Structure 1
Amino acid sequence: MKVHKDPNCGCCGGWAEHMQAAGFPVEIHDSGDMLAVKQRLGIGEGMYSCHTSEIDGYVVEGHVPADAIRKLLAERPQARGLVLPGMPIGSPGMESPDGYRQPFTVGLLQMDGSVRAFSQHP
């Protein structure tokens, strides 16, 4: 997995550690121009998070949990990949010291740029 991130972002490193702990090999690529990375990979403006990853022909935007990525790779849908806009509290890399978690939905980024729900995380 290639993880593109700003060199000054700490939560991106936390997400990369989550992925490594889940058994994914992670290769970090620091970038001073994350907008260019997102545009190159077809991430629309309303879908942005802090880091963008590539794995096995798919793009993964943001703090997507490892189980959603495993599901993507097992099902292999015809899609660009997964998106989790923003930085939901409690998502991997965004853990709260008090254990608080915001519920969030990971979206499946379709080939035409539209998004549909892929997995729910309470």
Structure 2
Amino acid sequence: MKISHIFAATCLFVTSLAQASAPITGTNYQSPYCGCCKEWVKHMEDNGFKLDMVYEEDLTPIKIKLGLRPEYASCHTAQIEGYTFEGHIPAAEIKRFLENKPERMIGLAVGGMPMGSPGMEYGDNKDAYEVLAFDKDGHTMVWSRHNQ
């Protein structure tokens, strides 16, 4: 094999490693007083995300602007790569969504604060919950089910 081919292959390998380890960036909007939101952000960071934090007393205007309906609201809202992620969604589900970019869908939501979801761990207590994908008109589909 020619040295130029080895060099080119090495450069491609190093570039792909750098891209694979680069964090996925976004912004998380949350109350300054919420402990479970901080735990969810830690879960996200442990899974390759870097979220800038914006602390707000009233998140309702942000949620409305981002197309969230009250029925799937939770305690924090993240914007990542132009998509909206509401509540205690597992990082793996967000990564899968970003890899697939489902047509029509503008984000994912886990309404409420189900026990056992990321940031809501409490011993062995685990509620069954669904991660919903939603579009700008409020239509939803089940993206995944957990603890069932």
TM-score of Structure 1 vs Structure 2, range by shorter chain = over 0.9
1:94 to 113, 117, 120: 120
The percentage of counterpart residues that share the same residue type is: 37
Output the CA distance in 2 between the equivalents of 1:102 and 1:33. Answer: 27
Output the CA distance in 1 between the equivalents of 2:65 and 2:89. Answer: 20
1:8-87 aligned at under 5 Å gives the runs 8-78=33-103, 79-87=105-113
Q: CA deviation at 1:111?
A: 2.9
Amino acid at match of 2:121: E
Q: What 5-or-longer segments of structure 2 have no aligned partner? A: 1-25
Q: Which has the larger radius of gyration?
A: 2
Output the CA distance in 1 between the equivalents of 2:125 and 2:52. Answer: 29
Q: CA deviation at 1:100?
A: 1.6
Output the CA distance in 2 between the equivalents of 1:26 and 1:112. Answer: 27
Q: CA deviation at 1:80?
A: 1.1
The higher relative CO (CA closer than 8 Å, separation ≥ 6) is in 1
Q: What 5-or-longer segments of structure 1 have no aligned partner? A: none
Amino acid at match of 2:49: F
Q: Secondary structure at the match of 1:16?
A: helix
Output the CA distance in 2 between the equivalents of 1:10 and 1:46. Answer: 22
Q: CA deviation at 1:25?
A: 0.9
Normalising by structure 1, report the TM-score.
0.96
Normalising by structure 2, report the TM-score.
0.79
CA-to-aligned-CA distance 1:11-47 (integer Å, 9 cap, x gap): 0000000000001111111011201110110100111
The alignment's C-alpha RMSD in Å is 0.8
Output the CA distance in 2 between the equivalents of 1:10 and 1:120. Answer: 24
